Structure 1
Amino acid sequence: MMAAVMALSNVSASSSYQLIEECDATHKSLYNFYAAVMIIIFIVALPLNASVMHLFIFKLKFWKSNTNNVFLFNLVLADILLLFCLPIKAHNFIMGERRSANEVVCKAMLFMLFLNRGASIAFLTVTSIDRYFNVVHPGRKNLLRALKKSPHISALIWLLLLPLTIPTMLKNFDCCNSHKSDAKDDTLIKGVVDSMREVVFFTQILIPFVILVYCTVHIINRLRKKTVGDRTKLKRAVFLVTSVMVVFSVCFLPCTVARVVLLVVRVQELSEVAQDKAAVAFDGLMVLSYMDCLLDPLVYCFCSTKFKALYVKNYFPFLSRGGAEPLDSSSGAPSQPPRNAVL
């Protein structure tokens, strides 16, 4: 995808700046490529997430579980809701639009995209924190461990995310017009709205990333210090948090860096060509961030040997080896009884 973005250097940008301000796709072939990527993500990720959700509801009965299945169910739910936005987004790109010309559709899309991507990041982070307490402080009581058995903390996360989506739906955020140099729009209110929007965008990614780094470092240190006991479970816990770090680094950090570059280019009022390239690159890296919907089930569901065995047994029975039930190795805590203790 980065190679495709770099191809912009060979494209004339004589009228690109005006078009991109009007939310038109300035490079049709490149935006068609973005649309194709989103369609592929949708086709592959939707049945994967739907099958995982089916197991959570009908096989595991996640609401009765004593583990973090409630968090993981909400993670899958957020990814599925986000996936339903991708065909609309792809259609806009194919039609030569960076967003829908219909204001209602545009605002609804922005609301869904930011709410559900924020929920996905939040539940990834909460699950990593839960893993951190299980491994680093296995005997310590904590509020998260007490609340994770009920849906209340999950509902609270969704409710807290709602007000954070409001600034992202103002002033055509999807067209990268924050801090645009325009005298007629240069007002205090616009500056405050632009700043709030950028704060929401960056904190939604950077704060969880810092938390993930902290949890990963401490879990790895715990593994190094452990000389006796079941090191296999600790190694799997390290694999889990490290995998989340990789997902974050691949899906979310590139678009964050692209957003910084775009803001710098706009604030410094560089050439129209530079602003055009920065905006189109940001769009492409936002498309890359949707890969999170495809990677989340692989990282947080299939890394558990017990869940993987259940998945294979239900959807690919011809691959099932049978025999004893595998141990739950998704955390550093001792394995639970077979009933509803998969993850």
Structure 2
Amino acid sequence: MAGASWAEGVPIETSANTSSGLRLEADFQFPLFTVIYSIVFVLGLVENVLALYLLACRVEHTSHSYVYMMNLALVDTLFVCVLPFKIHYHLNRNNWLFGDVACRLTGTLYYINIYLSIAFFTCICVDRYIAVLHPFTYIQIRVGHYVAVVTVLWVVALSVMAPLILGGPLHSNSGVSNTTTCFENFTTSSGIYRMAPYNILALLFGFVIPFSIILISYPLIAKRISRTKRSVRKRRALRTIYIILVICTLCFLPYHLTHLLHFLMRVQVIQNKSFASFIYKMRRVTLALVSFNCCLNPLLYYFTSCSKRWLFSCPLRFRSKVVYTICDQQRGEATSGYKLQHRAGPKPPRDGTN
């Protein structure tokens, strides 16, 4: 995946740029990663576990696109579950103590979370586009089609990450600090050029094309809705893509822009020392902030659901019955009103009630 060829948080850049006399430092990253990942772990775990429960058990689904949302919540939950390892890693100034398997797992889930999230966002936008602009085609789509798409996305993501899973991302640094870094074995000059096609393809198909589809879907749906009578379903479709655009703009767009600039710096296309130092520091920030999508994605589940059971999902809640009113047929007005109480056994219907 894009970005997997570089360290997440090395305090001093010691690869190809060192030969050109460029020394990059970012000591602020240690408290930054620790604080951000701690917040994401607490909020993301609570929000996504609750979202999975509600999507699976409590919320009444009006669209098959809930399959995408459930998988989005699942991939977020998997990612936040490994964040304690990353928090410990950055607290110890990038010294990995949990072994090779744990390193591969956390690094792989980091990039799977980024690109599967974008993929599911794109699928949701396409689903809303078809629902609004091609409603007759939309009603012919079955839940099995959604399951098939999700299965393909998972298979592709795992297949693309296979070289990183089966390779050796754990890299031991026996320098002055004598620390063991994780997912940073591609920092040599040969590793950068070897991974260049891999990163370019991931950037193109993992973000540029999906984000372009999302950008195109929003104005098309907005234009169609402006021409027809507004409905709850159409407003919800527009709101869905709007929330997705906000999440992509805040989390994924800055990450990929700095990723591209960082790649140009590593292959020495960008050689200005001041600008290179700025890019390196901004990459530390965007690497941390991209994980906030795990906290923002549950907003998508909530605001795109028309069901009030997101708020009142407790099985033991108390609900009052509907107020029945007896009307005087001659006067055309209510003569009495009362609230039916809970009673044991069936209740026979009354004449004159609605």
TM-score between the two structures when normalised by the length of structure 1: 0.73
Indicate the structure with greater helix content.
1
The 1-side partners of 2:227 and 2:265 are apart by 47
**Aligned match of 1:291:** 292
2:48 match: 49
Compared CA separation, residues 19 and 140, structure 1 to 2 (3 A): closer
Q: Residue 210 of structure 1 aligns with which residue? A: 212
Q: Which amino acid aligns with 1:131?
A: R
User: Where does the alignment leave 5 or more consecutive residues of structure 1 unmatched?
Assistant: 1-14, 325-343
Q: Within the alignment, does 1:16 sit opposite 2:15 as a pair?
A: no
Give the Cα–Cα distance (whole angstroms) in 2 for the partners of residues 289 and 241 of structure 1: 19
Q: CA deviation at 1:203?
A: 2.4
How many angstroms apart in 2 are the aligned matches of 1:77 and 1:98?
29
Corresponding letter in the other structure for 2:116: A
* Structure 2, unpaired ranges of 5+: 1-10, 19-23, 170-181, 323-354
Corresponding position of 1:191? 193
- SS of equivalent to 1:151: helix
CA shift for structure 1 position 96: 0.7
Q: Which moved more, 1:165-174 or 1:92-101?
A: 165-174
Q: Deviations over 1:152-175 (max 9, x none)?
A: 332222112112223556685954
Of the two, which has the highest radius of gyration? 2
Change (3 A) 1:113 1:201: farther
Following superposition, the deviation at residue 82 of structure 1 comes to: 1.3
In the alignment, the residues of structure 2 paired with residue 59 and residue 244 of structure 1 have an alpha-carbon distance, to the nearest angstrom, of 23
Runs of 4+ in structure 1 off by over 6 angstroms are: 19-22, 98-101, 320-324
Contact 1:167 1:197 in 2 (8 A): no
Are residue 132 (structure 1) and residue 133 (structure 2) matched? no
Structural RMSD (CA)? 3.6
- Structure-2 change in CA distance of 1:112 and 1:30 (3 Å): closer
CA distance in 1, matches of 2:259, 2:168: 16
1:77 paired residue number: 74
2:254 aligned counterpart, secondary structure: helix
Q: For 2:200 and 2:168, locate their aligned partners in 1 and report how far apart those are by CA, in whole Å.
A: 12
Residue 109 (1) aligns with residue 103 (2)? no
Rounded to whole Å, the distance in 2 between the matches of 1:138 and 1:191 is: 47
Any idea what the Cα deviations from partners look like across 1:116-153, whole Å, max 9, x if unmatched?
3322222221111111111111112588x235566333
| TM-superposed deviation, 1:299 | 1.7
Change (3 A) 1:37 1:21: farther
One-letter amino acid of the structure 1 residue matched with residue 234 of structure 2: L
Over 3 Å counting, the alpha-carbon distance change for 1:176 and 1:197 in structure 2 is farther
Measured after TM superposition, the shift of residue 246 of structure 1 is 1.0
Q: Within 5 Å, give how 1:131-150 maps onto structure 2.
A: 131-140=128-137, 145-148=141-144
Between the aligned partners of 1:88 and 1:103, the Cα distance in structure 2 is 12
Kindly indicate whether the alpha-carbon contact (under 8 Å) linking 1:99 and 1:175 is maintained by their aligned counterparts in 2.
no
1:177-326 residue pairs with structure 2 within 5 A? 182=189, 185=190, 191-226=193-228, 228=229, 230-268=230-268, 270=271, 274-306=275-307, 309-314=308-313
Compute the TM-score of the two structures, normalised by the length of structure 2. 0.71
SS at match of 1:97: coil
Q: Is the 8 A contact 1:56 1:69 kept in 2?
A: yes
Q: Could you say if the C-alpha distance between residues 137 and 99 of structure 1 is closer, same or farther in structure 2, counting changes exceeding 3 Å?
A: farther
